[in-house]
C-alpha cells in the first residue's frame, strides 16, 4: 500500500488495505493494514458465507490537501460486502485539492459488493476521486457510487469548486467501462438541460455477469421513471440516476440491488444492519 501524494504534501494522509479469503464456510479478512485516520470495523457475518465490513473515516470529513487511499482484494471463493456507516463529506478547500483513490480487485471465483453511503461535496470543495474495479475472469461484482453536489438536505447549492470523478471497470485486463466526469460548481454541465438539468445528486450502479434478462428485470422495476436508465456493456449492467438527494437515490438503488443479488450472486438480499440505524 503506497501513500497518495497530495498538494504541496500537506493535509492528512490515510490509507487502508484489506484482503478477504475463504476459510472453511466463511469469508474472513486475512490482511488488514492502515495508516492515518482510515479504519475498518470488525467483521460481521449475518449470513453464512459472506463477510460484511464497514469502512470508517473517524475525522468525518475531508479537506483540501487530504489524501485517502483504499485497496480491497477478494480472493478466489471469497465474498465480501463493504459499506460505510455514514456519508463521506468533502469540505470547502482553501486552495489545495483533496484526493481519493479506491482500488477494488476481485479474483476469479470471488465476489465483492461495494455499497458505500453517499459522498457529499460542499460548496467550494476541490476534489479528485478515482474508483478502479479490476475483475478477473469469472469474478462477480455489484457496486454503486452516489454523489451529492452541495448539501441537498440543507438546500445549500454547489456554486463553486470542482469534483473530478473517474470510474473504470476492467475484466481480464480489458477495459469494459472507463469514464470521467468533471463537475464544476455553477457550470453549464450542472445547470443546463443537456447536463444535469439542475439535479444535485448523481448515482451510478454497476453489476457484472449480467445478461439481457437481468437488464429487463431492472427496467421493469424502474418502470417509467424518467430520471433513471439501464444498459449493458458486455456483461456489465450499468444503471444511472439523476435527481435530488441521496435518500431518493437509495430508494432506487437498494431495490435494484435486492433484485440483482439473487440473480447474479445466487444469494437472497441481506442488508447490512448499519443501514437500519
Per-residue pLDDT reduced to its tens digit, 50-97? 999 999 998 889 999 999 999 999 999 999 999 999 999 999 998 899
CA distances from 159 to 6, 155, 162, 255 (A): 24, 12, 9, 32
pLDDT at 6: 45
Any domain includes 125: yes
User: Residue for cell digits 448539501?
Assistant: 151
Any domain includes 222: yes
pTM for this predicted structure: 0.94
Domain count, the chain: 1
Any domain includes 21: no
Contact 104, 139 (CB under 8 A): no
Instruction: Provide CB contacts within 8 A for 173, sequence distance 6+.
Output: none
Any domain includes 264: yes
Any domain includes 32: no
Q: How far apart are CA 28 and CA 157, in angstroms?
A: 42
Any domain includes 165: yes
pLDDT at 226: 83
Q: How far apart are CA 35 and CA 118, in angstroms?
A: 23
Domain range enclosing 169: 62-276
Whole-angstrom Cα Rg for the chain: 18
Any domain includes 96: yes
Any domain includes 178: yes
Position with higher pLDDT, 54 vs 225: 54
What is the arithmetic mean of pLDDT over 169-183? 96
Q: Please count the residues of the chain.
A: 277
Amino acid at each position: 500500500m503506497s501513500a497518495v501524494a497530495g498538494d504541496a504534501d500537506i493535509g492528512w494522509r490515510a490509507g487502508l488495505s484489506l484482503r478477504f479469503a475463504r476459510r472453511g464456510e466463511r469469508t474472513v479478512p486475512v490482511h488488514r493494514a492502515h495508516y492515518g485516520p482510515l479504519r475498518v470495523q470488525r467483521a460481521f457475518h449475518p449470513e453464512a458465507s459472506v463477510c460484511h465490513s464497514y469502512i470508517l473515516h473517524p475525522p468525518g470529513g475531508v479537506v483540501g490537501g487530504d489524501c485517502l487511499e483504499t485497496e480491497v482484494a477478494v480472493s478466489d471463493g471469497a465474498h465480501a460486502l463493504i459499506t460505510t456507516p455514514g456519508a463521506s463529506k468533502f469540505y470547502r478547500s482553501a486552495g489545495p485539492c483533496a484526493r481519493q483513490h479506491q482500488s477494488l480487485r476481485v479474483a476469479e471465483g470471488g465476489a465483492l459488493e461495494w455499497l458505500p453511503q453517499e459522498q457529499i461535496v460542499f460548496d467550494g470543495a476541490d476534489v479528485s476521486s478515482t474508483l478502479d474495479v479490476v475483475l478477473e475472469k469469472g469474478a462477480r461484482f455489484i457496486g454503486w457510487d452516489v454523489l451529492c453536489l452541495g448539501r441537498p438536505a440543507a438546500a445549500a447549492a454547489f456554486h463553486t469548486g470542482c469534483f473530478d470523478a473517474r470510474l473504470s471497470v476492467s475484466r481480464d485486463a480489458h477495459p469494459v467501462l472507463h469514464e470521467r466526469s468533471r463537475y464544476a460548481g455553477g457550470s453549464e454541465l450542472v445547470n443546463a438541460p443537456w447536463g444535469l438539468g439542475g439535479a444535485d445528486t448523481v448515482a451510478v450502479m454497476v453489476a457484472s455477469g449480467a445478461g439481457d434478462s437481468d437488464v429487463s428485470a431492472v427496467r421493469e422495476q424502474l418502470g417509467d421513471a424518467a430520471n433513471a436508465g439501464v444498459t449493458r456493456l458486455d456483461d456489465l449492467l450499468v444503471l444511472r440516476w439523476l435527481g435530488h438527494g441521496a435518500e431518493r437515490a437509495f430508494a432506487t438503488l437498494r431495490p435494484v440491488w435486492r433484485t440483482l443479488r439473487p440473480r447474479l450472486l445466487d444469494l437472497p438480499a441481506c442488508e447490512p444492519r448499519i443501514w437500519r440505524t
